[in-house]
Amino acid sequence: MYGPAQLRPSGKKRPTQFLPPGASPKGQLYYAAAVVDAGVIVTGVYESKEDCDNFVSDVLMAKLPTIEGGLEGEPQEFNGETLRIERW
């Protein structure tokens, strides 16, 4: 499993929709987004790095400009193998 995470600084208007409509990615097992003081944290877990890379290049990059409220600035990215997922 592969788990990317980003901290995206946002503008004055906070995004109200984080995953673009119709963008349910193949191989994604988990997705979450949270508004924090520094911007928006977005994370997901994919079955493989290839599934994640395909979603980012084929779907997400094209749809980012359409997200209501927008996401401004360059993201800080954190990527790596997902070691464990638990539900409490």
Task: Give the pLDDT confidence score for residue 49 in this predicted structure.
Answer: 93
Which has the closest alpha carbon to 44: 88, 6, 84?
6
Task: Give the pLDDT confidence score for residue 61 in this predicted structure.
Answer: 76
Residue 70 domain-assigned (yes or no): yes
Q: Domain range for residue 45?
A: 5-78
Q: How far apart are CA 71 and CA 40, in angstroms?
A: 8
Q: How far apart are CA 66 and CA 20, in angstroms?
A: 7
Q: Please report, in tens digits, the pLDDT of each residue of the chain (88 residues total).
A: 998 988 888 654 555 565 556 667 789 888 888 888 888 888 889 999 999 999 888 877 777 776 666 666 778 888 888 888 777 7
Q: How far apart are CA 63 and CA 71, in angstroms?
A: 11
What's the structural domain count of the chain?
Answer: 1
Are the C-beta atoms of residues 27 and 46 closer than 8 Å to each other?
yes
Residue 70: both structure tokens together: 């927008």
Task: Give the pLDDT confidence score for residue 68 in this predicted structure.
Answer: 66
Task: Give the pLDDT confidence score for residue 2 in this predicted structure.
Answer: 92
Residue 36: both structure tokens together: 């924090």
Task: Give the pLDDT confidence score for residue 46 in this predicted structure.
Answer: 93
Residue 85 domain-assigned (yes or no): no
Task: Give the pLDDT confidence score for residue 30 in this predicted structure.
Answer: 85
Residue 88 domain-assigned (yes or no): no
Residue 50 domain-assigned (yes or no): yes
Residues near 48 by beta carbon (within 8 Å), at least 6 away in sequence: 1, 2, 27
